[in-house]
Amino acid sequence: MSSVILRNVNKSYGNLPIVKNLNLEVKDGEFVVLVGPSGCGKSTTLRMVAGLEDITQGDIQIGQRAINDLPPHKRNIAMVFQNYALYPHMSVRENIVFGLKKSGADAETIKQKLADVSEMLKLDDYLDRKPADLSGGQRQRVAMGRALARDADVYLFDEPLSNLDAKLRHHMRSEIARIQHQYNMTAIYVTHDQIEAMTLGDRVVVMRDGIVEQVGTPMDIYLQPTNTFVATFIGSPAMNLFEATIDGDDLVFDQYRIPASKIANVDLHDLGSHDTVLVGIRPDFFEDSALSSPSDNLFEFNDIQVDLVENLGFDKEIMFKLGGEDAKARLDLRSHVKRQEHISLSVDLNRVLLFDTSPQGMLINAGEV
Amino acid sequence: MSSILVKNEARLGLKLVAPAVGIIGLLVIYPILFNVYLSFFDVQLNGSKTFVGLDNYTDLLGNPRYYHSIGVSVIYLIGTVVGTTVLGLAASILMNQEFRFRNLARGLILLPYFAPVISVVFGWQFIFDPVNGIYNHVVVDVLHLTDTRENLIGNPDSALFVVILFDIWKHFPIAYLLFLAKLQSVPKDLYEAAAIDGQNAWGRFWHVTLPELRFVIATVVLLRIIWNLNRFEDVYLLAPNVETLPIFTYYQAFAGIVDQGGAAAISVIQLLVLVGLIWLYVRKVLKW
Ligand SMILES: Nc1ncnc2c1ncn2[C@@H]1O[C@H](COP(=O)(O)OP(=O)(O)O)[C@@H](O)[C@H]1O
Ligand SMILES: [Mg+2]
């Protein structure tokens, strides 16, 4: 295993910059997830680490080796492709041991690895089949097996679960997490699915348009997103943002006045330099006031009209209007709100985030998580 | 595909090929049968026939020229089939790379295949002409490799190699075309996966390109064998002294002592060999 370091990495196609000045250090044994909307340059970044795309500018290092000019077959990496890329003329067994054999492993090691991997991924019954005779989920497991059988410095995953149905995706997600911990692999995992990112990553890298917006643990990113893009991209349903004007020490929208002094990490003096701010509240942080125990730091939005209730089992999602926007809250199953009812929602002000109204929408009340 | 669809398609297929089968039956099966029939007769030019039983066959099997022409044909087949396949493969891999004017180059490669045999044959004869030919000019006058001007086409032994070379040059484009079509459909990520798995360019060719091309290569080899076992005009026009089986058959049937019965016997044997070859090939090599 090895660390991976990307220093000021740039990639352009012609004059079109795709990845812009990317810096990232993946520690030995760390699982880092690159997440971002489609087309933001995640695959391109991963493929530069693999050597499948050349680096326009900057350096990539694996362990102590600078690998910029090393072709992929000399980098000692393993990779799982989105479309699996299994060798169609080889059996599952041959697919799995192909890279291992090439690396010069002896027959005993190969046999042992094959047995380990095929047991772990439940491939024992399919070893003699060709990829064409496997289902999508089975192919995905073979692709995983081919990578895991290798003794690579770094393991790269490019949206390996995106072609699976929801149930299988969930199952494989847990499998990957388990295997990664078991082998203490250094891994870079690309996905556009924020749930995969949050559940798998030791650290998560949020990208947009070739730029890294934030790097941090899943909790960092959830609780302290650096800007409105990260805030709304991570978390489902997305964070609600309300534009509020600043009146003295209060944030005002609709008929509500929120005392800024009770919001965590707010510098009132600094706040005074803004005319308006965006107030960010995650749907999960709303509570049905009828159920919340009164506390000093709770703010109550009263007289909220419920437009829609969706029962999701344990939670229910409600939609309503706030600050002129469609807003969502996720309430737990004890709440008995009904459509068209008027209710009160409370929010712990420690959980409220403020962003400036610049195009980047930077977090104003950054602090300890 | 579900079996109902397969059946429907099979029925449609039968309807579509029925007229063709009828025509082929008339144009191919009848001459073949007539040929088999003729091979048991001594046929005179005026058309009168006498039944001679297996005489044509025993005569043929006792004729050293027959064995000689089999030898020539085997060399011709191996040379041309291997040559066109290898050259076609090399050209297709080259033309699958990115470079300027690639489309132009891809088209130009096809020229020998489209050019009419009769005109390029004269070109080739001119190249190897002992007095004025470019070949002798370059080898003798420019490079001084030897002192004597050779008549490569005049000598049957060397002419065989000229004929092989000519066939490779003229027919590799069809192999190239089939290979290129397949190469373009090989998924790029297979090469990427192989590179990640530690394979260099040669390893990727061996473990990805060749297996992906396996069926096309087999098809090309099969087609080339069938075509060239019967190839007449290229050889006869360029160097009629190279006695491959078809040429030998022609001499038997129409030149010198005309012996159509004997010629028919040759083609019957050749047909059997060809059918046997194809059967073997389809069952063992292609495993279709
Ligand atoms: N060979 C190429 N030439 C030009 N643009 C490309 C090429 N490959 C990818 N791109 C562009 O680069 C951007 C990033 O692609 P990619 O890294 O695949 O995004 P994703 O984050 O979805 O994996 C996309 O806008 C894509 O259109
Ligand atoms: Mg991608």
Distance from CA of B208 to the nearest CA of A (A): 8
Q: What is the CA radius of gyration of chain A?
A: 24
Residue B43 placed within a domain = no
Count of CA atoms in the C-beta half-sphere (13 A) of A56: 15
Residue B129 placed within a domain = no
Which residue of B189, B195, B211 is in closest CB contact with A72?
B195
Q: How many CB atoms lie within 10 A of CB A145?
A: 26
Instruction: Kindly state whether residues B15 and B112 are assigned to the same domain.
Output: no
d(CA B114, CA A87): 37
Helix axes B260-280, B30-38, angle to 10 degrees: 130
Distance from CA of A210 to the nearest CA of B (A): 23
Residue B139 placed within a domain = no
* Domains contained in chain A, CATH given: 4-226 (3.40.50.300), 237-355 (2.40.50.140)
Cβ of B192 within 8 Å of Cβ of A99? The answer is no
Instruction: Kindly state whether residues B76 and B191 are assigned to the same domain.
Output: yes
Ligand 1 within 6 A of A191 CB?
Answer: no
Q: Locate the chain A residue with the closest alpha carbon to B210.
A: A89
Predicted confidence at residue B286, as pLDDT, reads 67
Cβ of A73 within 8 Å of Cβ of B195? The answer is yes
Check if B269 contacts A (Cβ < 8 Å).
no
Instruction: Kindly state whether residues B178 and B262 are assigned to the same domain.
Output: yes
Tell me whether strands A57-62 and A31-35 are parallel, antiparallel or unpaired: unpaired
Ligand 1 within 6 A of A41 CB?
Answer: yes
Instruction: Kindly state whether residues B2 and B64 are assigned to the same domain.
Output: no
Instruction: Kindly state whether residues B31 and B72 are assigned to the same domain.
Output: no
d(CA B166, CA B159): 10
Inform me whether the pLDDT recorded for A301 exceeds 80: yes
Nearest residue by C-alpha to atom 18 in ligand 1: A43
> What is the tally of structural domains in chain B?
2
Residue B29 placed within a domain = yes
Predicted confidence at residue A310, as pLDDT, reads 94
Instruction: Kindly state whether residues B7 and B111 are assigned to the same domain.
Output: no
d(CA A250, CA A257): 6
Inform me whether the pLDDT recorded for A253 exceeds 60: yes
pLDDT in tens, chain B (288 residues): 567 888 888 888 888 998 988 888 888 888 889 989 989 998 877 778 888 888 889 988 888 999 999 999 999 999 999 999 999 999 999 999 889 999 999 989 999 999 999 999 999 999 998 888 888 888 888 888 888 888 888 888 899 999 999 999 999 999 999 999 999 999 999 999 999 999 999 999 999 999 999 989 988 998 898 889 889 999 999 999 999 999 998 888 887 777 888 888 988 998 898 888 888 878 876 665
Predicted confidence at residue B150, as pLDDT, reads 82
Question: What's the pLDDT tens digit per position in A11-25?
Answer: 999 999 999 999 999
Predicted confidence at residue A24, as pLDDT, reads 97
Tell me which residue range forms the domain holding B28: 1-37
Distance set, CA A31 to CA A40, A95, A164, A176, A217 (Å): 20, 25, 21, 10, 11
Instruction: Kindly state whether residues B8 and B114 are assigned to the same domain.
Output: no
Mean of pLDDT values over A344-364: 94
Residue B184 placed within a domain = yes
Q: Locate the chain B residue with the closest alpha carbon to A97.
A: B197
Instruction: Kindly state whether residues B202 and B273 are assigned to the same domain.
Output: yes
- Which residues in chain A belong to E strands, given as ranges? 4-13, 16-26, 31-35, 57-62, 65-66, 77-80, 154-158, 187-191, 203-208, 211-216, 240-247, 250-253, 256-259, 276-281, 286-288, 298-311, 315-322, 325-332, 342-348, 353-355
d(CA B160, CA B166): 10
Question: What's the pLDDT tens digit per position in A56-95?
Answer: 999 999 999 999 999 999 999 999 999 999 999 999 999 9
C-alpha triplet B135, B136, B139: angle, nearest 5°: 85
Q: Return the bridge partners of A245, or none.
A: A252, A276
Question: What's the pLDDT tens digit per position in A115-145?
Answer: 999 998 889 999 999 999 999 999 999 999 9
Inform me whether the pLDDT recorded for A311 exceeds 80: yes
Predicted confidence at residue B262, as pLDDT, reads 86
C-alpha triplet A67, A69, A70: angle, nearest 5°: 60
Predicted confidence at residue A60, as pLDDT, reads 97
Cβ of B196 within 8 Å of Cβ of A103? The answer is no
What percent of chain A is predicted at pLDDT more than 70? 99
Cβ of A99 within 8 Å of Cβ of B196? The answer is yes
Instruction: Kindly state whether residues B157 and B73 are assigned to the same domain.
Output: yes
Cβ of B197 within 8 Å of Cβ of A71? The answer is no
Instruction: Kindly state whether residues B10 and B115 are assigned to the same domain.
Output: no
Inform me whether the pLDDT recorded for A327 exceeds 60: yes
d(CA B269, CA B35): 11
Outline where chain A has alpha helix (H).
42-50, 92-102, 107-120, 136-148, 166-183, 194-200, 218-223, 228-233, 268-271
Instruction: Kindly state whether residues B32 and B59 are assigned to the same domain.
Output: no
Predicted confidence at residue A118, as pLDDT, reads 92
Predicted confidence at residue A114, as pLDDT, reads 95
pTM for the whole structure: 0.85
Structure tokens at B134: 């470019």
Q: Which positions ≥6 away from A271 have C-beta within 8 Å?
A: A246, A260, A277, A354, A364
Distance from CA of B170 to the nearest CA of A (A): 33
Instruction: Kindly state whether residues B1 and B70 are assigned to the same domain.
Output: no
Structure tokens at A216: 């941090």
d(CA B240, CA B232): 10
Q: What is the interface size between A and B, counted as CB pairs within 8 Å?
A: 60
Which domain CATH number covers B171? 1.10.3720.10
- Torsion sign, CA atoms A41, A44, A48, A49: positive
Task: Using an 8 Å CB-CB cutoff, list chain A residues near B208.
Answer: 87
